[in-house]
Amino acid sequence: MITINENYLKLQASYLFSDIARRVAKFQQEHPEKNVIKLGIGDVTRGLPPACIAAFHKAIDEMADDSTFHGYGPEQGYDFLREAIASHDFQSRGTEITADEIFVSDGAKCDTGNIQEIFSEDIVIAIPDPVYPVYLDTNVMAGRTGDFVDGRYKDIVYLDCNKENGFVPALPDRPADLIYLCFPNNPTGSTATKEDLQKWVDYARKNKAIILFDAAYEAFIQDSSLPHSIYEIDGAEEVALEFRSFSKSAGFTGTRCAYTVVPKKCVGWDKAGTPHSLHDMWNRRHCTKFNGVSYPVQRAAEAVYSEEGQKQCEELITFYRANAEVVLQTMEGLGYECVGGINSPYIWIDGKMDSWEFFDLLLNKAGVVCTPGAGFGTCGNGYIRISSFNSHENVIAAMKRVKEALR
């Protein structure tokens, strides 16, 4: 008899964004005459930068010629992309990350979910609340969370993020082995200072813990005092793995390219207390379960770092920042307290009512889709998240509708 992984039975309902899609589909079926504007899921709407398109086309032409054709590439990514990433994203900021510590992949979501495979099943996990659901659900699947009781999994160390702490979690009151952090944050849009992150790095070094740092939204940082990478923090290369993506910074949500940094100084321990290289372990996992990102996609990603690519990507970021400003000004003008929207593409709004109730209100009265904060954890209840990823015209139209619905 084939038996199942019963940890899957502990997952709560379905994936958040699937729930949203189902409600929106039902609304559109019942109201086919209404044009729904979607500001929920963080999917970009602008085309790829021209520099990336040009590189894409050139690489596809190479694939059509026997003499320049590329078959299987290195699982870790081509050197031309890894070297560009190391130089631009890290070494230019004074960090010592090298190209061979970078692993190119098809998405930060995949990597943040898969990385937990290299760690023991009985480690203690610390996860912020509210949080990007993938961090929690993949650990549920792995059997690390215990049962779901009164809205939370009993074996998880929850790091409450709320108005009182500025949505930047405090250190846990008990030891944790694996810590998930995301800044600029999804979903709240909050940011962490170097001082904030130094506390976490110091904690991890003291407790022999590892930080999984999601920096997928670093391109939206405008405040020059804020760190773009955790490796700007002293000692982080010993205790932190970082995840980045081209999805939001260059519009690669449908093209799929990202990367994970695993420094060679990072180690984990076996039960006998012997240290082992996490870099070597992730490389082994990567080579076993991943065949690499396609050559044309990696050439397109490399073009992000060209002079033209940098200008074009900054234009995209500026476009979405302008959308965020419209949302932020509108909601604050209506008297709602907001976080994010300045160094982040997301605006986190205190809705003054149940999250799903506010979601339904905006959907039914304004035809606008947001994301209910309760879907990100118990501390998210009462909040909604609005994304800046849409056309400028749609964002302006959506905020006009929201004004009319909430007055």
pTM here? 0.96
φ, ψ of residue 103 in degrees (nearest 5) = -120, 115
Single-letter amino acid, residue 351: G
Nearest to 261 by CA among 126, 99, 116: 99
Q: Where are the domains of the chain?
A: 6-47+308-406, 53-306
Fold entry, domain 6-47+308-406: Aspartate Aminotransferase, domain 1 (3.90.1150)
Q: Which two tokens stand for residue 19?
A: 């729930």
Cα 374 from Cα 352, distance rounded (Å): 13
Pick the CATH number of 53-306 from 3.40.50.1980, 3.40.50.720, 3.40.640.10, 3.40.50.1580: 3.40.640.10
Cα 246 from Cα 233, distance rounded (Å): 23
Per-residue confidence of the chain (407 residues) as pLDDT tens digits? 999 999 999 998 666 777 888 899 999 999 999 999 999 888 999 999 999 999 999 999 999 999 999 999 999 999 999 999 999 999 999 999 999 999 999 999 999 999 999 999 999 999 999 999 999 999 999 999 999 999 899 999 999 999 999 999 999 988 999 999 999 999 999 999 999 999 999 999 999 999 999 999 999 999 999 999 999 999 999 999 999 999 999 999 999 999 999 999 999 999 999 999 999 999 999 999 999 999 999 999 999 999 999 999 999 999 999 999 999 999 999 999 999 999 999 999 999 999 999 999 999 999 999 999 999 999 999 999 999 999 999 999 999 999 999 98
User: Are 116 and 156 a contacting pair, CB within 8 Å?
Assistant: no
Question: In sequence order, what are the residues at sequence separation of 6 or more whose Cβ sits closer than 8 angstroms to the Cβ of residue 220?
Answer: 184, 248, 317, 320, 321, 343, 344, 345
53-306 and 6-47+308-406 share a CATH fold:
no
